[in-house]
Chains A and B, each alone.
Chain A
Amino acid sequence: MNPLFVEGVGILAPGLAGWAASRAVLAGERPYVAEPMPATIATLLPANERRRTTATVKLALHVAQEAMDQVAPISNPSSGERGKLSAATVFASSGGDSEVLDKICTALTQPGRPVSPTQFHHSVHNTPAGYWSIATGCTQPSLSLSAYDGSFAAGLLEAAALAFAEAARVLLIAYDLPLPFPLSARRAIVAPFAVALLLNPVATERRQATLRLTRTGFEPADRLDDASLERLRAGNPAARSLPLLCAIAQRKRKRVMLSGNDTALGVDVEP
């Protein structure tokens, strides 16, 4: 298959505070310590929007911004700054913003069913995509998807297909957060995790890694040696990206297997 070049990586999770700070951990050079996740910045959003948006939106936008900033400053209409770069986007999340859905379902049990208009318009799966396009002024196509625990692999395939079809950069963002009670008892997501990959179908001097994707049959996905990282990988659909991120951080030629649903996605990684 055609290669895809990784030009930017954003990551935020407990103990993984950004790509620069996480590389040594993911390369196995430093131990993983699940420290509390630092606050998201999402400085792209105007202050009043930032107040209204949820933790889910902030987390997704935080990693998206980190990945884009590694290549070029992005457009920021609220500060009047126009960046040189925009990219089509793919947002992959198993469950979207369950905090919002919990609030709506709770309101529906109350007299008069007072669903908040703001909650309702934040309830769509593409809310982070909407805020991202508003914050960056980017009018390019965007897809928001879910494939349950296989959401990252499905997002990577969609991002690749989109990059090849348009012969242009695509920004993939995968994110999931723990659900609030009582949904948390029925869907265990152990910690928040978000990752963004800026992918280019054209090789430039900015490439950090080269990826080649191969869909395979019912092969098992790679696991991680570190027990805490493996717990994170298995416990958050977006963290199923970790074997790939580790391979990129190690700067070695390697084939990784990412979990899809029943099937696996093979990714040949080269530095």
Chain B
Amino acid sequence: MAIEPLAIAARTVTNALGRGVAASLAALRCGESGLRPCDFEDAVLDTWIGRVAGLEEEPLGGEFAAFDCRNNRLARLGLEQDGFAMAVRDATARYSADRIGVFVGTSTSGIGATEHAYRQRDPLTGSLPETFDYQHTHNVFSVADFARRWLGLTGVALAISTACSSSAKAFASAWRHMRAGFCDAAVVGGVDSLCLTTLYGFNALGLASSRPCRPWDVERDGLNVGEAAGFALLEWAEPDDARALLLGYGESSDAYHMTAAHPEGAGAALAMQGALARADVTPEQVDYINLHGTATPLNDAAEDRAVLRVFGPETPCSSTKGWTGHTLGAAGITEAILVCLCLEHSLIPGTLNTRQRDPKLGAGLVLDNRERPLRLALSNSFGFGGTNCSLLFGRRGA
């Protein structure tokens, strides 16, 4: 039997394509990428990134000054798009501030603040500058703490940090908390911002491409790190709800390797099957899969095996990383919102930058945009440590 679905009552996304859902939808439609050659801080790296413009000039002030760092600036920017904070205020009047939970995914939170502080250590004592505030910037919880305070919410609040599945898992955690009665509605989200840790880290692993990333391409050679903030307000669906719905989620652990995906995609397949089972739908009913599709040679190959195993070669699928880059802990929410936009606007996005599909890969990759009504769409998010999460979204009567 299917789980009780959640309605997406409000949603917003900000990424390299721009601020708010309209910017992302317009870029998806016209095939315009948000990627650019790396121009983040003083990084000297031959790679492309998905940077959100303008964050450098928009510090947090007033009572939120302690939270000021790139990640929380991005969170604030995200919360203020698409009337999202307003929608949460309206929901607060219905549910009360302590009955709306906050579930925010992030991988690196505000570590950028620590990177800066380490460059300003006292030459004699080694101490960090007085202005450095660990709790409100670097700590993993900082972004969830900021979001709940910005929105005036006092209920359960946690940061979920499972690398690149973080903000997909936020949906699963929110569903469970609501089901258990720990809250009646939920703000789920994800925020990850560019920092030297991830840029130099992926470079050290040899996973950062020197060109715009090309998922599933025969010449794919790595990912582009991006940054994003996305949020959704979730409440239990009404019987004839016309809004986009979270119908199922599936999670698994690879139990294989810290950074390498299971070569057969066993864990990824389990996560997809879990989402289908919770929604009580068959693979044939799914109209579109938004792949994790980072464009690293091994990850795409493993995900391809998993998709083939669960869906076969027919189900249309694509990766939107060529538009946004890989936004890490924010990838789950980013692609969840893109999938909801696709459901609402009858769009299957192509796979930007990819020209020649790897003949060794067999999933039903879509290269160019298609206009087609969609009823059910799956979004995949997988991360370091072998953490997998798939989300199934749908619309009734579409």
Contacts and interface: CB of A to CB of B under 8 A. Distances in A.
Interface of A: 1, 94-96, 101, 104-109, 113-117, 120-127, 129-131, 133-134, 136-148, 151, 154, 157-158, 160-162, 164-165, 181-183, 185-187, 215, 217, 260-263
A134 B252 CA distance: 12
Contacts of A123: 197, 201
A165 B180 contact: yes
A263 B157 CA distance: 10
A262 B180 CA distance: 21
A147 B141 contact: yes
A120 B160 CA distance: 19
Given A126-B162, A148-B139, A263-B98, 10 more contacts: A94-B139, A108-B196, A123-B201, A126-B163, A130-B385, A131-B258, A139-B270, A164-B179, A186-B133, A215-B182
Contacts of A116: 204
22 contacts: A115-B204, A121-B258, A125-B161, A125-B162, A126-B387, A129-B253, A129-B385, A130-B384, A134-B256, A134-B386, A140-B253, A141-B253, A142-B162, A142-B387, A145-B159, A147-B144, A147-B159, A161-B173, A164-B180, A185-B128, A187-B134, A262-B154
List the 6 shortest-distance A-B pairs measured between CB atoms, nearest first.
A130-B385, A120-B201, A125-B161, A141-B251, A146-B140, A161-B176
Nearest to B262: A139
B259 interface: yes
Contact of B134 (A96, A141, A183): A183
A264 B73 CA distance: 29
Given A108-B197, A142-B253, A160-B180, A133 B386 contact: yes
Contacts of A147: 141, 144, 157-159
A162 B180 CA distance: 9
Contact of A261 (B118, B157, B177): B157
Interface stretch (B107-115, B312-320, B363-371): B107-115
Nearest to B328: A124
Nearest to B164: A124
Contact of A96 (B161, B181, B205, B257): B161
Interface of B: 98, 107, 111, 114-115, 118-119, 121, 126-128, 132-135, 138-141, 144-145, 154-163, 169, 172-173, 175-177, 179-182, 196-197, 200-205, 251-259, 266-267, 270, 383-387
A269 B220 CA distance: 55
Nearest to A260: B156
B256 A105 contact: no
B158 A138 contact: no
